Structure 1
């Protein structure tokens, strides 16, 4: 793929993410996306042959990083390091993919009517892996016997809220937009909360 093509696709996905997040799938048109992206509508179809394929690209732009975020939990045996890396990465996704995250959240809240089955299956596989790893850490005594599902739900919500409820957080913080230091403070707080709250032991 040429650099120009990749750049144009990235711009279209960025604009589409904003519009899907603002208006939802049904109310967003390809004509509106093309207009906001400042490209002729036929050019949009050159890169994405249908609205469905563009919507999938928007969902993939956030679900692929989300799937990659759990690799430390899958690969590392140290729960402190794995959870720290997971929380850090999830917050970065909220910072860097805010509009796509809102689109994904809206899709899930609507019952996932347009979520491709392969993405849904990959997310379910990820959830099963995380729950299995949490249970193993508990059985091995590296973590208190906390309810694994609720720990996973809390990790999802506490990190993604910085994207999905960005407006409310900015209002409370008295800021137009969150800064890198805000995400760093959130990381420090959430990591401490999770490690202490779950009684995670330090592995040498």
Structure 2
């Protein structure tokens, strides 16, 4: 490769890196603004100000507020989906469900705004992402239900309704994101520190696993 070709390739790589960085900057800012103001109260100008970018830059990456909003919601859901990879290759339910609970608790700590956006959207009847709930979420849920039923049929865990187990895990782990202010208030006005987060994760995991006839905490 000659020098000119190498320089062209380097410039292209830099542009790709800059695009990726700006996109992530916009998405993190949008998460916070949508979480605090809701879809109706959020504006592209507010998000641009939060990201520290000109408004025109937002429209370069995301043509409309709805497009940006859908991307924020889809991003947090994709993160949750990856957390459920533990189901697919787990040797037993304690390992699979236990790892899933741990991952969901970690996500609530690392992505609280994304979780709040999802919660607000669903509580308002999912006006923007109803199609997503009826396809991606439904298919994913059925897949996890199949895995849990297999463990039940094999006598590896208590015969519970898998759907309600999933609802319980979602509600409990996402509570730490969606109701973070309440938890902070009850924690003396301070966010949970590393030790407290670990204790919370261990407790949630132990309570749920014991409730379905497993030990693994």
TM-score w.r.t. length of structure 2: 0.87
Alpha carbons 1:74, 1:129 under 8 Å: kept: no
- 5+ unaligned residues in a row in structure 1: which ranges? none
Q: Distance in 2 between matches of 1:86 and 1:110?
A: 27
Alpha carbons 1:87, 1:155 under 8 Å: kept: yes
- The answer to whether 1:98 aligns with 2:115 is no
- 5+ unaligned residues in a row in structure 2: which ranges? 1-14
Q: Secondary structure of the equivalent of 2:41?
A: coil
* Deviations, residues 149-185 of structure 1 (Å, cap 9, x unaligned): 2211110011011100000011111143222222211
Aligned to 2:140: 126
Higher relative contact order (CA 8 A, sep 6+): 1
- The answer to whether 1:20 aligns with 2:5 is no
* Deviations, residues 111-147 of structure 1 (Å, cap 9, x unaligned): 1111162465221111111212222211111011122
Aligned length: 202
Q: 1:6 to 1:164 in 2, by over 3 A?
A: same
Q: CA RMSD in A?
A: 1.7
Q: 1:177 to 1:36 in 2, by over 3 A?
A: same
TM-score w.r.t. length of structure 1: 0.92
The structure with more radius of gyration:
2
Aligned to 2:204: 190
Q: C-alpha displacement at 1:3, in angstroms?
A: 2.0
Alpha carbons 1:73, 1:82 under 8 Å: kept: yes
- The answer to whether 1:46 aligns with 2:46 is no
Which segments of structure 1 move beyond 6 Å, counting only runs of 4 or more?
A: none
